[in-house]
Structure 1
């Protein structure tokens, strides 16, 4: 499907910042969390032949999104397309007969709002739902250009203005202050731009609350989650995570136990392996897919996102969190990741406008940092959750027709007796959960 800006006719990412992936992932290590699930916080991934080949000849560099400011702070890798063509560009070339320039920041090179709405059956819902709802985005550090970059994205795609002046957008610190904000960080600014744009793309009528933690520690990010809920958000998106620890169950009760609030968390970007807070029994853990146009009735097809053995959607069995009552898979005695999924593959990534710390322009992003705010926005389109509910349970009671079942692909190697933890199959599986949205029916009580 061709995405066009307004008035232009169509021609035919312990801690790893999960997906602060300007095309890709990130990694974060928090105090008390030990090492990251698959790599140290300071690791920088270099492009490989495997990445280029499996991504359809799309290449990218992996540069740290943020340098740790304190021991145990978040560090992450940012993958941005620097050569080749994305899935969006290939489709446009087939339609137009004109091969676009790769890595051109002057125009979008990833999927836009109409693509995502069409792929997930949200066109009608996005046009009419979400008014009065607020999606909270929780990230670390400040993005000084957040409001301006958000305005650029929404204006280009013809979305309603969402500004501080009209009451649609608000940026606060983890204490709720609008004036005493954290220090700025260009890496986290990429993450913030990605999150804000994805919430906008899927729920254009929703208000957006950006809550900026003063650092990437669990204590500060968790405090920011609590502040988002305190300020009234019923939908909270989190695009960070890292290795599990024995402290996770205490973090559950301190930061994520908010009945009546849909809290989404990225499943991870380093392939098979459970991470926290995606493993929290109180959140919706969101995996990632590769999304491409197809000749099917739906017009789109999805597979598990896996670029290499160390890059792809997270999944797995928690070592600490108990299994919630609504999760009934038998290969994992405790909490299984993921619940649902959405697009995350960098090669089939989404367009984002960002200007802080980089050349102002359009970039293609991937990672489960894209899928988490997408799913938070779908929850918002579906309406306010029941006051006593943990909305992660909603997809499990919705029926198979309410989701697009993803049945092919793998994100690593796992037990032969519980292969579904890393390999897609009909029905529930770890990498993609119950599937991707087919409208909003699976996200309402």
Structure 2
């Protein structure tokens, strides 16, 4: 559940020594076993990555609900609304003119139309290409769009609608990479920065491996840019780029309304753990991981309590679905970075939440594995935990530079 005060972190040296031998490695991501409970009723929008040098999107769509073709005020779509998102995380104001860049693979040919349906349903101001609010480019900065892919198109729709939910006044820049190969995806990241974006979100990942370290320059070389990446949806285990020491790794929660208030626990499928390769940033001080720990912060990700999303590529035809995954939490957090003041030009903004820890709701329930430490469980005695990091936002204060108001 959400916390209301900090508690000191006290761990004996014996626990530290005994736990280090059980730290997760790149190969320790959770995989289902015969003892796992029945798989929940949701499915990946995208197929899994085909190799170690390819990325997979993480959008998870509920399969136990029919696609709703038409929604109206008397029959709204199921799922969290912009009002829910803004209420749960204390978001105020529209912050017009701030830009969030979404980097994605492949092309969504009806993205503007999908976004128009979404924003009209929830009475948000229009966000059209003609006004400059929505801009879609390829990884070279032009409009020679790559081929379409239904799964990635659904991810793209969810990402832009998530940004719209959290920050209705934000502009959205979408960079469509030629493919899901790592080199193309990171070319898209570089293009977003060259276009002037100060906040860049990626809802894609691959299991951590030593080969991807050579790509860290795409983040290390861009000071003053807030990168948000989903921590993954396979439970306990580390994925990249979230594991990079230069990005904000976004974990996930289950968000529910209880007695008129919002309550959150760690989502059982959110990625977390101790990197086998990435160095530990100076702002992290958790005791059981000598390298980079995932995640940093979190937001709603559980698709069973996911966002209402309109997509032309829903299974069963165009319509409303309920979707989630840390692919949802990453663009939500990106929107909050955009709502805060622009990062300092020489900063790595993933440090900001650690300077404002009281600006986050501490999560004290739930787990994504059986490691028996804070690396996979939200334990009440720890200020930090792996699945949800420092917690979920209380407004945008946690994404500002020290001294900003």
Q: CA deviation at 1:256?
A: 5.1
Match of 1:341 in 2: 298
Structure 1 residue 439 corresponds to structure 2 residue 404: no
**TM-score normalised by L of structure 2:** 0.85
Structure 1 residue 422 corresponds to structure 2 residue 376: yes
Aligned residues: 366
Alignment CA distance shift 1:120-1:216 (3 Å):
same
Q: CA deviation at 1:38?
A: 4.7
Match of 1:81 in 2: 62
Match of 1:55 in 2: none
Pairing partner for 1:116 from 85, 90, 108: 85
In the alignment, is the contact (CA less than 8 A) between 1:133 and 1:380 conserved in 2? Answer: yes
Structure 1 residue 385 corresponds to structure 2 residue 347: no
Match of 1:21 in 2: none
In the alignment, is the contact (CA less than 8 A) between 1:326 and 1:396 conserved in 2? Answer: yes
Which runs of 5 or more structure 2 residues have no equivalent in the other structure? 1-25, 72-76
Match of 2:367 in 1: 410
Partner Cα distance (1:202, 1:397) in 2: 23
Alignment CA distance shift 1:412-1:195 (3 Å):
same
Alignment CA distance shift 1:74-1:157 (3 Å):
same
Match of 1:355 in 2: 312
For residues 59-74 of structure 1, what are the structure 2 equivalents within 5 Å?
A: 59-60=41-42, 62=43, 65-66=46-47, 73-74=54-55
Q: CA deviation at 1:257?
A: 3.6
Match of 1:204 in 2: 168
Q: CA deviation at 1:223?
A: 0.6
Partner Cα distance (2:385, 2:293) in 1: 9
Match of 2:125 in 1: 160
Match of 2:263 in 1: 301
Helix, strand or coil at the partner of 1:50: coil
Which runs of 5 or more structure 1 residues have no equivalent in the other structure? 1-33, 53-58, 85-101, 307-311
Partner Cα distance (1:150, 1:214) in 2: 22
Match of 1:227 in 2: 191
Partner Cα distance (1:317, 1:424) in 2: 15
Helix, strand or coil at the partner of 1:320: coil
User: What is the root-mean-square deviation in Å for CA atoms of aligned residues?
Assistant: 2.3
382-391 or 276-285: which moved more? 382-391
Partner Cα distance (1:167, 1:217) in 2: 29
Partner Cα distance (1:430, 1:182) in 2: 36
For residues 96-107 of structure 1, what are the structure 2 equivalents within 5 Å?
A: 103-107=67-71
In the alignment, is the contact (CA less than 8 A) between 1:134 and 1:206 conserved in 2? Answer: yes
Match of 2:20 in 1: none
Helix, strand or coil at the partner of 1:422: coil
Match of 2:357 in 1: 399
Alignment CA distance shift 1:423-1:70 (3 Å):
closer
Helix, strand or coil at the partner of 1:321: coil
Partner Cα distance (1:77, 1:397) in 2: 29
Helix, strand or coil at the partner of 1:363: strand
Match of 2:249 in 1: 285
Alignment CA distance shift 1:75-1:236 (3 Å):
closer
Partner Cα distance (2:288, 2:37) in 1: 34
Match of 1:29 in 2: none
Partner Cα distance (2:368, 2:174) in 1: 31
**TM-score normalised by L of structure 1:** 0.78
Alignment CA distance shift 1:273-1:386 (3 Å):
same
Alignment CA distance shift 1:256-1:104 (3 Å):
farther
In the alignment, is the contact (CA less than 8 A) between 1:66 and 1:186 conserved in 2? Answer: no
Match of 2:324 in 1: 366
Q: CA deviation at 1:75?
A: 4.9
For residues 215-294 of structure 1, what are the structure 2 equivalents within 5 Å?
A: 215-255=179-219, 257-294=221-258
In the alignment, is the contact (CA less than 8 A) between 1:143 and 1:356 conserved in 2? Answer: no
Helix, strand or coil at the partner of 2:332: helix
In the alignment, is the contact (CA less than 8 A) between 1:281 and 1:324 conserved in 2? Answer: yes
For residues 87-98 of structure 1, what are the structure 2 equivalents within 5 Å?
A: none
Match of 1:176 in 2: 141
Q: CA deviation at 1:35?
A: 7.9
In the alignment, is the contact (CA less than 8 A) between 1:144 and 1:356 conserved in 2? Answer: no
Helix, strand or coil at the partner of 1:383: coil
